[in-house]
A = this chain, B = another copy of it.
Amino acid sequence: MENQLQYQEGRTEISQMGKVALIARLTDGLDVKGDDCAVSGNTLVTTQTMVEGVDFDMMYTPLKHLGYKALAIAISNIAAMNGTPRQALVSIAVSNRYSVEALDELYAGLRLCCERYDVHLVGGETSTSRAGMVLTVTVMGDVEDSKITYRRGAAHNDLICCSGDLGSAYAGLLVLEREKVTYQANPNFQPDLDGYDYVLERFLKPEPRMDIVKKLAKAGVVPTAMTDVSRGLADSLLHLCHASGCGCEVYEERLPIDYQTSRVCSEMSKNMLPVSCALNGGGDYELLFTVNQKDYEKVKEMEGIHIIGYISEQGMPPVMVTPQNTTITLRAQAFQGVDE
């Protein structure tokens, strides 16, 4: 009856193996399709579990935002495969620390997100947790066969595009963490969040980019590969390049970074660069995709889409080119180890 986790011979650490290799090992021999979602016929399914203290901090996460965000993240996975979300299923485990009114708030956020993205909430379940809240959201969607996008379809010379801006959600998290620490040191402290509204909203209430999915469809553009940017641009690029068996070259000066993100970085530390937030911050839920060169004209004109580089040939590393023309090989902690 010894704890089976402690005395194990021939133990391999997950961090030694890396996430991509781990999933490949665990699902070896299984017919697992899909990446951001599971794919079965034309149906896309994705599950998002959020654990209190791990995926969110009750200290600064309004419950309405939490409900909205959990569903938004799941919808983003559907968007990442060029699909349309249809139904959602919610399961909440809570301790008695939570009141009925607290759950009303959570559901208000879920409902708002359902309305905005035309998703039908088809199931709700609650159960008891002895410690904190565990929120699980499952979203089902669909996609036409000819339009489904995986991470693996990028080819040499394809253009790399991303939507919105990068690093702002992480900047929002930095602001909230800073205010939390100050508040903990002095509970009379009134946090001042004025002037950070954009980055805070990016962190607390991300929007899945269904508008981009629709714009691409309207323009008749099917990306050759797509994923969402949930754990930083570097991680998403590495996943996309690894799955497609190619390298990439992105240009630092092309990365879309909001001025509020830059301002937060400069306030935090002179060593914190906005580009680091964009590459490794996470939480943006923008779309990263590649298109064939023939679609250049169409994509160039689209509002909210930035062409940040191109796919290089097989065997080349994924790199970022700085304004000084230095080439930096991209690495992502999340990609190597199990993700954050």
Contacts and interface: CB of A to CB of B under 8 A. Distances in A.
A37 interface: yes
Contact of A93 (B16, B49, B128, B140): B49
B40 A120 contact: yes
A53 B5 contact: no
Contacts of A25: 100, 104
A140 B131 CA distance: 29
Interface string A1-39: 101110010111111110100110111001111100111
A303 interface: no
A54 B93 CA distance: 10
Nearest to A135: B49
A148 to B, nearest CB: 14
A115 B207 CA distance: 39
Oligomer copy total: 2
A145 interface: no
A30 B29 CA distance: 41
Interface residues of A, number: 82
B26 A63 contact: no
Interface in A274-324: none
Interface string A36-48: 0111100101110
Contacts of A134: 49, 51, 134
Instruction: Give the secondary structure class of A's interface.
Output: mixed
Contact of A51 (B10, B23, B96, B129): B129
A93 B51 contact: yes
Interface string A80-112: 000000110101011011111111100100010
Contacts of A144: none
Interface of A: 1, 3-5, 8, 10-17, 19, 22-23, 25-27, 30-34, 37-40, 43, 45-47, 49, 51, 53-54, 58-60, 62-63, 86-87, 89, 91, 93-94, 96-104, 107, 111, 120-131, 134, 136, 138, 140, 179-180, 183, 191, 337-340
17 contacts: A1-B179, A1-B191, A8-B101, A14-B100, A22-B100, A23-B126, A26-B104, A32-B121, A34-B122, A34-B123, A40-B86, A45-B87, A45-B138, A49-B49, A54-B93, A126-B338, A134-B134
